[in-house]
Amino acid sequence: MATQTTPFQGTKFYIGTGLGAEKAISDCTVTPNATITVSGHGAKTGDFIKITGLGSLDGYYPVKAVATDKLTLADEVDWSTQDKPTDFTKATVSVVTWSSNFCAIKNIEGDGDTLTEEDITTMCSEGTETEPGAIELGSIKLTFFYAPATTMQQDLRKKFFAKDTFPYMLVLKNNQGSLYGTGFIQTSPNFSGEVKGKFESGVTIKKAKRDYLLAVNE
């Protein structure tokens, strides 16, 4: 029987550092799968791409499959309720470029998203009635050894003071896939230390939009 656990050691965490060249999107589909058509896109399976110029479809998405000029997005990307765009004159896509693996991380803690409650009680209700409301996005807390002169920790400080929203990617072991998302530094790098100890630090990344899991077998 296959293992049901996911080891922490060997996990990889990356932060987006930029975007590749913009490529023109000539077409897309919203159902049954979310796809875009891009000549010379240069993307590969597992890439995280940024789409602009397609209105409500704009955003960051993981690539599930590549077939010549067509990119199929992860199964969790659901465009079925959206209208297919008719104007592609300003539609472009770029591939996210990643930092090196953030090896100094000691602990990763992800707060799950939550649903608010909407009170729908009426005079005919026998008690309080509620239904799911808006989604309150969670956050990711990283704990690591404090080394503020390193490239990664310098970049975290820059992103905080610049109020940047950036992509991130968590690559899990045991064929559990990768989690892709975007967020901003909600709490800048803190630090603590004591005699005979080592300085430790951490940041909190607040999710800006929902994240996407790209399963290995997709």
pLDDT digits (tens, 9 = 90+) for 189-206: 999 999 988 999 999 999
Cα–Cα distance between 3 and 121 in angstroms, integer? Answer: 46
And the tokens for 25? 């999107």
Residues 63 and 129 in one domain: no
Q: How many residues does the chain have?
A: 218
Shortest CA distance to 57 belongs to which of 82, 20, 93? 82
Residue 93 pLDDT more than 90? yes
At residue 174's C-alpha, the angle toward residues 168 and 177, to 5°, is 35
> Domain for residue 85, yes or no?
yes
| pLDDT classification of 121: cutoffs 50, 70, 90 | confident
pTM comes to 0.89
Residue 177: closest CA among 122, 216, 129, 134: 216
> 66, 98, 130: which is the final residue of a domain?
98
Return the beta strands (E) in 30-91 as ranges.
Answer: 35-38, 48-52, 59-67, 70-73
First vs last C-alpha separation in the chain: 21
Chosen domain end from 82, 98, 114: 98
In this structure, are 116 and 194 located in the same domain?
yes
**Is the per-residue pLDDT at 128 higher than 50?**
yes
Residue 176 in any domain: the answer is yes
- Do 202 and 119 share a structural domain? yes
Instruction: Quick: pLDDT tens for 163-180.
Output: 999 999 999 998 899 999
In a domain, 64, yes or no: yes
CB atoms within 10 A of CB 199: 12
The CATH number of whichever domain residue 126 belongs to comes to: 2.40.30
Residues 77, 147, single domain; the answer is: no
Taking Cα atoms as reference points, which of 83, 69, 78 lies closest to residue 36? 69
Full residue range of the structural domain in which residue 34 is found: 12-98
Q: Which two tokens stand for residue 204?
A: 């909190």
| 6 is a domain residue | no
Same domain assignment for residues 116 and 184: yes
Look at residue 3 in the predicted model and tell me its pLDDT: 64
Kindly state the average pLDDT of the residues 73-96.
94
Instruction: Give the chain's domain count.
Output: 2
109 lies in the same domain as 158 = yes
Q: Give the Å distances, CA to CA, from 111 to 120, 139, 200.
A: 28, 5, 21
